[in-house]
Chain A
């Protein structure tokens, strides 16, 4: 059997490549958006806190609950809390690879590659599992 890229369901290497390029642009757009939100929050934070003390990073105390949960962070950012806005930016950043995985599912579906649609759904499920809830809490009943 000759070596070479295998064709599957009528798709070709070119389709693969177009999907890849799109995914790359999607990722870049996500990072740019997330960075802008983080910059906005950062500037707001520094304007208030500029000459004040540095938070104590030497001792670990877990973040306040608004910083740890996505819905609460979004709510707090609506009140223009700078730290919550930064946190929303970070959430957008974490969501960027997730979006890429979602679009990979679309891409494989377009190529009718159901095996890889399956694999990608597994990855998406794992991502949602980790981002939506702390697995610790699920396991320590």
Chain B
């Protein structure tokens, strides 16, 4: 069983090939920033988000207490979601009304999740994190049916004026929104997970809109990105009050993930996403198992 750090209060050990290297403040900051940059980059390229990489990185590799890790990750989620917003809002795919309506569910969920985090033991949070990680990895490697099937109108969606259209090469294609209550409930769950684990929960949000509400896939992903920042901000406020956000840790994480994500968004069109997702899926699954294991052993 691996020890992830010595118990000295002043120096942090990073285990690599079984040797312990002691880092001072600036070295640690740089290493964390680089790790976060990689996390942001891979998160943007695979669509999993930086949060799912940052929290395991900090906790497993650096032995950081999971609460500090989640606080720092949450900050980076707000940064990447808000920073990238302009790019995808410009394209005109996202559905503002669907997003705004569902944000009521995600913000209540995020607050619930943050309050739940106060009462759950950290080892439980680690196990939940591992489970969600596995789900994200599995989900991202699935084949996506890109062609939307035409949906009939839905009473609630029509009343809420949610139906819209999206741009394609042949002009704008209209779509109907379905099963709003189910989508709302799933969004609440996505919010709870975001508030509890410090991640964006983009995959769950997309699931809710794509599968439950039958929105075209590109509309789901862009609208989900639009909502992630608000969801994360709702729980971040609570984390800040509880002292879970350490400025010296949040600083390199935020800047690193932001930089990586912006680069990832830039190189995404040319990248071999499918191979990346497959490789990444395997790595993430291994990390997920490790987190669950450490959680069960009570070392988180």
Give residues in A with beta carbon < 8 Å to B.
Answer: 1, 3-6, 8, 13, 16-17, 19-21, 23-25, 27-28, 30-32, 34-35, 38-39, 41-42, 45-46, 49-64, 67-69, 83-84, 86-87, 90-91, 93-94, 96-98, 100-101, 104, 108, 113, 115-116, 119-120, 122-123, 126-127, 129-136
Chain B contacts of A136 at CB under 8 A? Answer: 115, 118
Q: How far is the CA of A131 from the CA of B232 in the complex (A)?
A: 11
- A to B contact number (C-beta, < 8 Å): 242
Bound complex: CA of A32 vs CA of B83, how far in Å? 8
Asked if B25 is at the interface of the complex by the 8 Å CB criterion, the answer is yes
* Known contacts A5-B165, A24-B90, A136-B115: A55-B242 contact under CB 8 Å: no
Does B104 lie within 8 Å of A54, measured CB to CB?
Answer: no
A61 contacts across to B, CB distance below 8 A:
243
The distance from the CB of B257 to the nearest CB of chain A, in whole angstroms, is 11
A28, A97, A120: which contacts B78 (Cβ < 8 A)?
A97
Can you list 17 A-B pairs, Cβ within 8 angstroms, ordered by A? Answer: A20-B90, A20-B94, A24-B86, A28-B83, A35-B255, A35-B258, A46-B25, A51-B24, A60-B68, A67-B246, A87-B245, A94-B237, A96-B229, A97-B82, A97-B233, A126-B108, A135-B238
Residues B25 and A134 in contact, CB atoms below 8 Å apart: no
Whether the Cβ atoms of A55 and B248 lie closer than 8 Å is yes
Contact of B25 among A50, A58, A69, A94 (CB under 8 A): A50
Contact status B87-A24, CB under 8 Å: yes
Determine the chain A residues whose CB is within 8 A of the CB of B247 once the complex forms.
41, 45, 67, 83-84, 86-87, 90
Within the assembled complex, what's the spacing in Å between the Cα atoms of A86 and B92? 34
A16 to B: closest C-beta gap in Å: 6
Pick from B29, B237, B252: contact of A130, CB under 8 Å = B237
* A131 CB contacts on chain B under 8 angstroms: 233, 236-237, 240
- CB of B241 within 8 A of CB of A133, answer yes
When the two chains form their complex, are residues B12 and A122 in contact, meaning their CB atoms are under 8 A apart? Answer: no
Q: Which of B46-54, B156-164, B287-295 contacts A (4 or more CB under 8 A)?
A: B156-164
Q: B1-44 vs A: 1/0 string, CB under 8 Å?
A: 00001010111100000000001111011000000000000000
Task: Find the residue from A50, A54, A58 having the highest chain B CB count within 10 A.
Answer: A54
1/0 per residue, CB under 8 A from A, across B97-113: the answer is 10011011001101100
A25 to B90, CA, bound (A): 9
Are B26's CB and A51's CB within 8 A? yes
Interface-lining segment among B59-67, B130-138, B139-147, B263-271:
B59-67
Which residue on chain A has the smallest CB distance to residue B119? A136
A119-B100, A129-B111 provided; 19 other pairs, C-beta below 8 A? A3-B153, A3-B174, A20-B94, A23-B85, A27-B83, A30-B82, A31-B79, A45-B247, A57-B64, A62-B242, A86-B247, A91-B240, A94-B75, A96-B82, A98-B233, A108-B100, A113-B161, A123-B103, A134-B238
Minimal Cβ-Cβ distance residue in B for A60: B65
Point out the residues of chain A lying under 8 angstroms from B240, CB to CB: 68, 90-91, 94, 131
Whether the Cβ atoms of A63 and B10 lie closer than 8 Å is: no
A31 touches B250 (CB 8 A): no
> Measured between alpha carbons, how far is A90 from B251 in the docked complex, in Å?
8
A56 interface neighbour in B9, B29, B234, B237, Cβ under 8 Å: B9
Contact A19–B111 (Cβ < 8 Å): no
- Verify A127–B107 contact, CB threshold 8 A: yes
Among candidates B158, B163, B251, residue contacting A41 with C-beta atoms closer than 8 Å: B251
Enumerate chain A residues within 8 angstroms of B214, measured Cβ to Cβ: none
Which residue of A57, A86, A91, A115 contacts B251 across the interface (Cβ within 8 Å)? Answer: A86
In this complex, what residue of A is CB-closest to B58? A57
Contact (Cβ within 8 A) B251 A38: yes
Given contacts A58-B65, A60-B65, contact A116 B100 (CB under 8 A): yes
**Complexed CA–CA distance, A94 and B79 (Å):** 9
Contacts of B163 in A (CB 8 A): 3-6
Q: Specify which of A34, A67, A115 is in contact with B79 (CB 8 Å cutoff).
A: A34
Cβ-defined contact, B96 with A69, below 8 A: no
User: Which residues of chain A have C-beta atoms less than 8 A from B5's C-beta?
Assistant: 58
**A116 CA to B68 CA, complexed, in Å:** 36
